[in-house]
Structure 1
Amino acid sequence: MEQKTRVGNRLLAALPTADLDLLVRHFRLVELQRDTVLVRSGDPIQRIFFPLSGLIAFIMDMPSGQTVATAVVGNDGAAGVLTTLGPSRSPMTAVVRVAGTALQISPAQFQAALERSSALRGTVQTLNRALMAQFQHVAACNALHSVEARLARWLLHVHDRVDGDVLPLTQETLAEFLGVRRTTVTQVISKLRDSGAVRSNGRGSIEIDRPRLEAAACECYQLMRRRIGRIVLSDEMTPPGHARPADNPRGQASLFAKADEIHRRTGGQGMIGPRARGH
């Protein structure tokens, strides 16, 4: 698994301290509850989320009513940054698939910081490149590889972004990842369990054996991981000579203590919860 940054979100960790400070004063810490719809396809993007934990899936909604996942982000990404291209409606639905926490900011506040920070603009470009790479690989994988190999790949993507070997995923979520019916998911899980890649699956969770799951996955997983890792960890995200919060634990602690204090003064921890559920 990829090492978790001390800051909590890898994109934010890559920013110089002064640039991150432009955002911290506006961040609101929120809880993301599982199955919450953050934004629906076609709706205006009103909030940007930088996950510290958990998993957000980007979903394409088809006219037939079917849905299929096209990408996932955890603490390696963000949701809602298309607003940086101007007032925007979301081209897809963003749904919390593993509960966690995130730093939330309004598009207007984010845009104001973006105009003052070349490092932040570089970070946005990095995220967009990483998401585009994920979209491209998922499309190719869906066309070329078996449903068993694709499910193994999706489970590995989730495992990279959550703690532990028990993944809190429902059969509905797995069906959405694959674009298949739940009955097909049941059959595929059974095959992966027979191979030892899945140790057990219960109601709303699935336990994996990572080495065997990697053996069951198609080559797309390693290709995607290497390509996106190169993009996200690119030196372009941090101009030479700039100190990053990840390099200075005291500095990052001070920044997030400041955000927490502002948050407490403005009403306590928020919750993005089941009011938007229904996807």
Structure 2
Amino acid sequence: MERPASVGNRLLAALPSKDLALLAPHIQKVSLEQDAVVAQSGDRRDHVYFPHSGAISFMLGLPNGETIATAVIGREGALGALSVLGGNPSLSSVTAVVRVGGTASQISVVRFQAAYMGSSAIRNVVQAHTRSILMQFQHVAACNGLHPVEARMARWLLHLHDRTEGNILSLTQETLSQLLGVRRTTVTLEVAKLRALGAIRSDRRGLIEIDRGRLKQASCECYDIMRRQTDQIVPDDAARPRLHVASGDEPHGG
């Protein structure tokens, strides 16, 4: 997945103009603030989000309080779009946390469902997103079971780096612990290993500078496989439609 050179969501970019027009009048551009919880498992879901920039992780929480990331999305995906596929559309099935701040197109679940029912192109986009998310779930599960923490940490850092500008990520050790499902003491050890390899530089403020080439060497093969399959399922088209948001062009808090 190529790092974004300009703003735009790849799922929306795949829609023909007439189908995008079903959504555009009801879309607002919103800010995605780092560490914001944009969906809580079991809570009411009011909106669907199509990120333009930034990264959102899907988190699985266990009764003992431990968490682990099961997927991450950026401009190639959506949050809440799968609500149209059945079950209780008003309840979120995931806890979603913004890991890299950015912006998104936001539309109400009700408006999105209506457009979905009236457009085969929107249904195709949702199906593509479903395949992409299921692929990621499968590979993350396999990676968690087969590969060491160091390689998994490198993979997650690469996923987040794909969805941000520049080479610096703002990530605390607590965040890395949540993503990886390991103790903070383990995170400290693994960060030191990546630092020794020259793959990252970090400081106590939670800023991590990425050396992408060395980080890829430290990662497992899952990163390249997932990136390649995502691009096959959701192509990164050069042409991106302009959205005319419903109320003003400036982002506001989501």
TM-score range, shorter chain: over 0.9
Matched, 1:129 2:125: no
**What secondary structure does 1:109 align onto?**
helix
Report which stretch shifted further, 44-53 or 131-140.
44-53
Match for 2:94 among 84, 92, 95?
Answer: 92
| Distance in 1 between residues matched to 2:110 and 2:229, nearest whole Å | 31
Matched, 1:185 2:169: no
Shift of 1:3: 4.7
**Are the structure 2 counterparts of residues 5 and 19 from structure 1 closer, same or farther at C-alpha, using a change threshold of 3 Å?**
farther
Report which stretch shifted further, 31-40 or 124-133.
31-40
Matched, 1:157 2:162: no
Shift of 1:199: 2.6
CA RMSD of aligned residues (A): 1.9
Report which stretch shifted further, 97-106 or 79-88.
79-88
Shift of 1:154: 0.5
For the 8 Å contact 1:201–1:207, the answer to whether it is kept is: no
Instruction: Indicate the percent of aligned positions where both proteins have the same amino acid.
Output: 54
- Alignment match, 1:222: 224
- Alignment match, 2:253: 271
For the 8 Å contact 2:3–2:164, the answer to whether it is kept is: no
- Alignment match, 2:13: 13
For the 8 Å contact 1:59–1:68, the answer to whether it is kept is: yes
**Number of residue equivalences:** 252
Higher-helix-fraction structure: 1
- Normalising by structure 1, report the TM-score: 0.85
Shift of 1:224: 1.1
| Distance in 1 between residues matched to 2:25 and 2:17, nearest whole Å | 13
| Distance in 2 between residues matched to 1:111 and 1:173, nearest whole Å | 33
Shift of 1:200: 2.9
One-letter identity of the residue aligned with 2:252: G
- Alignment match, 2:43: 43
Q: Which runs of 5+ in 1 are unaligned?
A: 235-243, 273-279
- Alignment match, 1:148: 150
Q: Deviations over 1:37-91 (max 9, x none)?
A: 1111112322110111111110001011111110000111110112112433222
For the 8 Å contact 1:41–1:61, the answer to whether it is kept is: no
Shift of 1:6: 4.9
- Normalising by structure 2, report the TM-score: 0.93
**What secondary structure does 2:26 align onto?**
coil
State the structure with more CA Rg: 1
Report which stretch shifted further, 125-134 or 193-202.
193-202
| Distance in 2 between residues matched to 1:115 and 1:16, nearest whole Å | 16
Q: Deviations over 1:77-128 (max 9, x none)?
A: 1101121124332222011111111111111100111112111100000001
| Distance in 1 between residues matched to 2:251 and 2:74, nearest whole Å | 20
Shift of 1:4: 2.7
Q: Deviations over 1:235-255 (max 9, x none)?
A: xxxxxxxxx8x53x6xx34xx
One-letter identity of the residue aligned with 2:247: H
